[in-house]
Amino acid sequence: MDIRKLIENAYISLSVFEKPIRCTIHDDDCLDCRDHENTLKKATRETLSIDDIGTVGWSPVPNMNPEAMSYFLPRLIELAVTEVNDSDGDPYMVRFINTVLEGPNVKQYSLLHEKHKKIVLQTLLYLRDHFFEIVKNESWDQELEIAISKWDSL
């Protein structure tokens, strides 16, 4: 699949999800949680930046609730397939693999329908087909295959 078509399909298909009022799973008593919530509230699915996503040690993505994940997923896909590096200089595609590694049956993906899950699978297949050497050099090739098998078992 062509990269432009993959990104376009992700935005179109997932456009059914509106930006949620609350974006994270934690309450505001936690300083980092409040910071994650504020970061996501300022962003849209089109403007969420790699700086907003942060580093491995600080990122709102693992704390997104199902509504936020469904809303922001097209942007996460776009950042993964366009070879963007995070602020530590590491390929975001590896973090994307980590984000979806548990498969479609976790709570964070509970709002996704089969056609949305297929887009995640297509993204993983695209990463394998076009960036396998990068993924392998980062020692995430086995995790990529695990993620593919989980998203392909629909």
Which tens digits make up the pLDDT trace of 124-150? 999 999 999 999 999 999 999 999 999
pLDDT surpassing 70 at residue 154: no
Residue 120: give the domain boundaries. Answer: 3-151
pLDDT at 33 over 90: no
Residue 153 has pLDDT above 90, yes or no: no
For 50, how many CA atoms within 13 A lie in the half-sphere containing its CB?
Answer: 19
Mean pLDDT of 32-54: 92
Q: What domain count does the chain have?
A: 1
**Side-chain half-sphere exposure of 139, counting CA atoms within 13 A:** 0
State both tokens at 126.
Answer: 């695209």
Query: Do residues 27 and 59 make contact, with C-beta atoms less than 8 angstroms apart?
Result: no
C-alpha span between 39 and 72 (Å, rounded): 12
**The model's pTM:** 0.95
Q: Each residue of 52-101: pLDDT tens digit? A: 999 888 899 999 999 999 999 999 999 999 999 998 999 999 999 999 99
Query: Mind listing the pLDDT tens digit for each residue in 100-127?
Result: 999 999 999 999 999 999 999 999 999 9
